[in-house]
């Protein structure tokens, strides 16, 4: 019997709704990965509601929990680490300590960094020190990075002016250390208004993917977390980077179709679970070059 992959997911958690681990854990489990959730924050709900309750995990708890897993002899079973929303740069450094410990136990383990930098206009606020940590420290350690356009712009210190400019910016991020960069959501002058676009860039090639942009009164939160989680999960299950990219785009689209049909603000992950595992649609990743 083929071994089930194991993945440590270190990011935020909300009690109600879907963001961070609450958006990523169940879908990753549904496609066949055993997930170990480690929650950097526990909030009542995501911050775009404008009010929430909860607390941030003390940074020292992250390596302590990793060591607890090591103490029972299971750390070598961890095939990957996924990190997302950080409450502080100190949390980020604690995650890197945990990543180093896991890679010592399993040198083949991957680290995917979803560099959440916040979106003040939507009510998602991240401290400037976190953005600096992601660029200056996390990028050098990550095997995979999954920024959105805002984060890619932030890394580059400017706004993209075209699709090819986005490609150049992603390639520049590769130079900092990651083996692959998945841009989860492209936004640039001239992009068709009715399309949602993504970009996958590696040292060996680059691929552009387009799917329909679905309309919502308020865009659901957690789509990026879902995207990063499924992308890493499919890689652990044996997909090539391009196949994982295409699968992820299709599965996320299925979730959004169900969410739209239910007129829901929160992602309809449970209702869409079979479509997550077996998407009915397919979007082709098309090679692109400068």
In the predicted structure, residue 19 carries a pLDDT above the cut 90: yes
How far is residue 226's CA from residue 177's CA, in Å, rounded to a whole number? 23
The pLDDT, as a whole number, for residue 126 is 65
Under the banding of pLDDT at 50, 70 and 90, the label for residue 152 is very high
In the predicted structure, residue 212 carries a pLDDT above the cut 80: yes
Percent of the chain at pLDDT above 90? 90
Average pLDDT (119-140) is 76
Under the banding of pLDDT at 50, 70 and 90, the label for residue 125 is low
Binding-site members are 12, 47-48, 114, 151, 184, 211-214, 225
Average pLDDT (121-131) is 66
The pLDDT, as a whole number, for residue 97 is 97
The pLDDT, as a whole number, for residue 119 is 55
In the predicted structure, residue 43 carries a pLDDT above the cut 80: yes
Under the banding of pLDDT at 50, 70 and 90, the label for residue 129 is confident
In the predicted structure, residue 123 carries a pLDDT above the cut 50: no
Beta strands across the sheet bearing 6-14: 54-56, 34-43, 6-14, 80-83, 110-113, 144-145, 180-183, 195-202, 206-212, 286-287
The pLDDT, as a whole number, for residue 290 is 73
Tell me the three-class secondary structure of the chain, residue by residue.
CCCCCEEEEEEEEECCCCCEHHHHHHHHHHCCCEEEEEEEEEECCCHHHCCCCEEECCCCHHHHHHHHHHHCCCHHHCCEEEECCCCCHHHHHHHHHHHHHHHHHCCCCEEEECCCCCEHHHCECCCHHHHHHHHHHHHHHCCEECCCHHHHHHHHCCCCCCHHHHHHHHHHHHCCCCCEEEECCCCCCCCCCCEEEEEEEECCCEEEEEEECCCCCCCCCCHHHHHHHHHHHHHHCCCCHHHHHHHHHHHHHHHHHHHHHCCCCCCCCCCCHHHHHCCCCCCCCEECCC
Binding-site members for ATP are 114, 151, 184, 211-214
Binding-site members for substrate are 12, 47-48, 225
pTM for the model stands at 0.96
Average pLDDT (174-179) is 96
Residue whose C-alpha is closest to residue 255's, from 16, 30, 13, 69:
30
pLDDT digits (tens, 9 = 90+) for 97-120: 999 999 999 999 999 999 988 655
């Amino acid at each position: 019997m083929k071994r089930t992959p194991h993945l440590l997911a270190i990011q935020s958690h909300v009690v109600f709704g879907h963001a961070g681990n609450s958006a990523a854990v169940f879908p990753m489990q549904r496609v066949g990965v055993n997930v170990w959730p480690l929650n950097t924050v526990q909030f009542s709900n995501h911050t775009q509601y404008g009010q929430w309750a909860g607390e941030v995990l003390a940074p020292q708890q992250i390596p302590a929990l990793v060591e607890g897993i090591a103490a029972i002899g299971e750390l070598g079973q961890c095939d990957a680490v996924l990190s997302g929303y950080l409450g502080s740069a100190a949390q980020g450094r604690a995650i890197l300590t945990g990543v180093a410990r896991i890679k010592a136990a399993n040198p083949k383990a991957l680290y995917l960094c979803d560099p959440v930098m916040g979106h003040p206009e939507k009510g998602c606020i991240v401290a400037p020190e976190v953005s600096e940590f992601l660029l200056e420290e996390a990028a050098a350690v990550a095997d995979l990075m999954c920024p959105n356009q805002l984060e890619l712009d932030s890394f580059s210190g400017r706004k993209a002016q075209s699709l090819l400019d986005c490609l150049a910016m992603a390639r520049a991020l590769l130079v900092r250390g990651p083996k692959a960069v998945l841009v989860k959501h492209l936004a640039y002058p001239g992009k068709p208004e009715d399309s949602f676009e993504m970009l996958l860039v590696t040292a060996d090639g680059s691929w552009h993917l387009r799917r329909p942009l679905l309309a919502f009164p308020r865009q659901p939160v957690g789509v990026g977390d879902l995207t990063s989680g499924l992308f890493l999960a499919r890689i652990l299950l044996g997909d090539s980077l391009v196949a994982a990219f295409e699968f992820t785009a299709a599965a996320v689209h299925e979730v959004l179709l169900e969410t739209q049909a239910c007129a829901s603000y929160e992602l309809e992950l449970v209702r869409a679970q079979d479509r997550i595992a077996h998407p009915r649609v397919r979007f082709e990743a098309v090679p692109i070059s400068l």
